[in-house]
Structure 1
Amino acid sequence: MKLTSPETIPDAHEDSIWTASWIPATEDSPPLLLTGSLDETVRLWDPESKNCILKNTGHSLGVVSVAAHPSGRIAASASIDSFIRVFDVVTNNTIATLEAPPSEIWQLKFNPEGKILAAAGGGSASIKLWDTAKWQPITTLSIPRPEGSKPGDKSSNKKFVLSVAWSADGRHIACGSMDGTISVFDVARAKFLHHLEGHCMPVRTLVYSSAPLDSRILFSGSDDGHVHVYDAEGKTMIAAMSGHASWVLSVDASPDGAAIVSGSSDKTVRLWDLKMRAATQIFSNHTDMVWTVAFGPPGRTDVRSCSLASVSDDKSISLYQYS
């Protein structure tokens, strides 16, 4: 597997770009790229023409996460203003506005069926779930307090939740915390299952394998500079991969299940071969921290190929082809 040299869209936003997500193709549209920035806007891009085709100014503070619904029709964005905005991708009309306490939303993910929106709940040490039919809260999945701790105990702040990921079968959901732990939940039973250990610093990014036979495999990236591979159901760490010189801010899994990609505050993007458990390509095209890397959906004619996007504090978007 390999990535082509990137094509870059410079100054894609007026400020740091922290988040990106691919909008799946529909009958009317090819896959599109959604980005969110500290300039308070969400923008939609045509990766072929490199043109911005929609600009959303619905937030009053920086946008920290964007997520695309599997239908390709709607998307959601979360901001430091403590609101989640759900909007129609074509018309840009607001469908719903979900409110959370300040700094309580750090990452958004729709479940594979698109029926639930999950949000990493920040200082609430939880994952918040919304029903996407009525946009009403379903439940809050709370990380258990350490034994012997009391309500208000400052140690609970270490469970500040930064990242969230759904398993490919939608049965499980995981979140990464400030203290380096990963918590795994059974969604149907709204039950905490167990922690995954191994990181010693904040876990800012999580993604389950997209390969159908590997739905229990979870990848994580941390401020400790490592990328870990877990059997999330067996509670075991399969591999720890190192190479980044600083925080790992984002990981994503290729649609073919053969590789993952990572972005870091060391300004690089790395492609990792999962059989070799090593980085096979390193890109240094960004001039500042790489906040998000995101694989696009597989190609219609070649399911082993897809696009990849990376976004950065340098205000640029880089687009690669994976095959």
Structure 2
Amino acid sequence: MKLAGLKSIENAHDDSVWAATWVPATDTRPGLLLTGSLDETVKLWRSDELQLERTNTGHCLGVVSVAAHPSGVFAASASLDSFVRVFDVDTNATIATLEAPPSEVWQMQFNPSGTALAVAGGGSASVKVWDTAEWRIIQTLSIPRPEGPKPSDKSSSKKFVLSVAWSLDGRRLACGSMDGTISVFDLERGKFLHHLEGHFMPVRSLVYSPTDSRVLFSASDDCHVHMYDAEGKSLIGAMSGHASWVLSVDASPDGLAIATGSSDKTVRLWDLKMRQAVQTMSNHSDQVWEVAFRPTEGRINRLASVSDDKSISLYDYS
């Protein structure tokens, strides 16, 4: 397996690019790459040429997360202004504006069936799950307090939630916190199941394997990438190699590899059988906030990365 650099767009945005995801193809158009930036805009790019299709505005602070509905028809962007904007991909018409006070919004993700959107609520120590038919909150999942501190110790009794990921079957939701713990919930029962431990610094990014609902990958500021059996609560493997925070992790559609982006300015490709990095890409001149594999379209696989250097890079994965 390897990555080959295809194209890089310098100054793709006017400020740091913190978010990227792939919008699935529809009957009327191919798939698109969606990026969000601290310049308060969301941009849509043709997936193979990285040609700008459209620039969307609507937020009054930087965009920190984007998510695409499995249908490819609509997408969502979350901003430091505490709002999530749901919009029609082809027309940019606003479908819904979700407000999740009293806290900012960090990562978010639609479930595989597209019936729900999970939003990590930062300092609210919770994840809110929105129904995508009526855009109402159907669940608020409170992250359990860490064991140890006394109830009066307010500063350490709250968890700051940074990342969320749905399992392949949509039955589980994993949430990564600032203190390094990962919480796993049973969505059918709205019940907390257990913590996954091993990280001691913020868990910035989570992704379940696209081929196995039990396997979860995590990226942390402790420079490590972990692979868990999320049902059995066990750490399968810890992978190291980055020289600084690991800000993003995504799994290849074939389930054989993961890619990571780091504040050491590199993108790494990891072979899951060997559980080690097999390639390091140094396209960026600043920290890499997001890596995203494109869902397979035919035999062509793509990976995108975005950075504080305002650029987007596109790679061929084979």
TM-score, shorter chain, exceeding 0.5: yes
| 2:174 alignment partner, SS class | strand
State the Cα deviation string for residues 164-193 of structure 1 (Å, max 9, x = none).
000000000000000000000000100000
Q: How many residues align?
A: 317
1:289 pairs, out of 284, 287, 290, with: 287
Deviation at 1:29, TM superposition (A): 1.1
Q: How do 1:1-323 and structure 2 match up within 5 A?
A: 1-101=1-101, 103-147=103-147, 149-150=150-151, 153-157=154-158, 159-211=159-211, 214-300=212-298, 302=299, 305-323=300-318
State the identity as a percent. 71
Q: Which moved more, 1:51-60 or 1:73-82?
A: 51-60
Deviation at 1:103, TM superposition (A): 4.1
Q: Which amino acid aligns with 1:140?
A: T
| 2:5 alignment partner, SS class | coil
| 2:255 alignment partner, SS class | coil
Deviation at 1:245, TM superposition (A): 0.2
Deviation at 1:102, TM superposition (A): 5.3
Q: Hey, what's the Cα distance between the residues in 2 that align with 1:172 and 1:47?
A: 30
Q: Hey, what's the Cα distance between the residues in 2 that align with 1:103 and 1:269?
A: 31
| 1:4 alignment partner, SS class | strand
Deviation at 1:48, TM superposition (A): 2.7
Q: Which amino acid aligns with 1:7?
A: K
Deviation at 1:152, TM superposition (A): 7.0
Q: Hey, what's the Cα distance between the residues in 2 that align with 1:321 and 1:31?
A: 15
Q: Which amino acid aligns with 2:101?
A: P
| 2:3 alignment partner, SS class | coil
Q: Hey, what's the Cα distance between the residues in 1 that align with 2:237 and 2:145?
A: 28
Structure 2 gaps of 5+ residues are none
Q: Which moved more, 1:140-149 or 1:119-128?
A: 140-149
Evaluate the alpha carbon distance shift between residue 57 and residue 246 of structure 1 in structure 2; reply closer, same or farther with a 3 A threshold. Answer: same
State whether residues 77 and 85 of structure 1, in contact with CA within 8 Å, keep that contact through their aligned partners in structure 2: yes
Deviation at 1:321, TM superposition (A): 1.0
Deviation at 1:146, TM superposition (A): 3.3
State the Cα deviation string for residues 171-223 of structure 1 (Å, max 9, x = none).
00000000000000000100000000000100000000001xx1110000000
Q: Hey, what's the Cα distance between the residues in 2 that align with 1:222 and 1:50?
A: 29
State whether residues 31 and 297 of structure 1, in contact with CA within 8 Å, keep that contact through their aligned partners in structure 2: no
Q: Which amino acid aligns with 1:240?
A: A
State whether residues 131 and 138 of structure 1, in contact with CA within 8 Å, keep that contact through their aligned partners in structure 2: yes
Q: Which amino acid aligns with 1:181?
A: T
Deviation at 1:54, TM superposition (A): 1.3
RMSD across aligned positions (CA): 1.1
State the Cα deviation string for residues 107-129 of structure 1 (Å, max 9, x = none).
01000000000001101111110
| 1:275 alignment partner, SS class | coil
State whether residues 81 and 104 of structure 2, in contact with CA within 8 Å, keep that contact through their aligned partners in structure 1: no
Evaluate the alpha carbon distance shift between residue 188 and residue 41 of structure 1 in structure 2; reply closer, same or farther with a 3 A threshold. Answer: same
Q: Which moved more, 1:47-56 or 1:66-75?
A: 47-56
Structure 1 gaps of 5+ residues are none
Q: Which amino acid aligns with 2:313?
A: S
State whether residues 80 and 102 of structure 1, in contact with CA within 8 Å, keep that contact through their aligned partners in structure 2: no
- Poorly superposed stretches of 4+, deviation over 4 Å: none
Deviation at 1:50, TM superposition (A): 2.1
Q: Which moved more, 1:45-54 or 1:160-169?
A: 45-54
Q: Hey, what's the Cα distance between the residues in 1 that align with 2:188 and 2:150?
A: 28
| 1:205 alignment partner, SS class | strand
Q: Hey, what's the Cα distance between the residues in 2 that align with 1:263 and 1:6?
A: 17
State whether residues 5 and 313 of structure 2, in contact with CA within 8 Å, keep that contact through their aligned partners in structure 1: no
| 1:239 alignment partner, SS class | strand
Q: TM-score, length-normalised on structure 2?
A: 0.97
Q: Hey, what's the Cα distance between the residues in 1 that align with 2:280 and 2:12?
A: 23
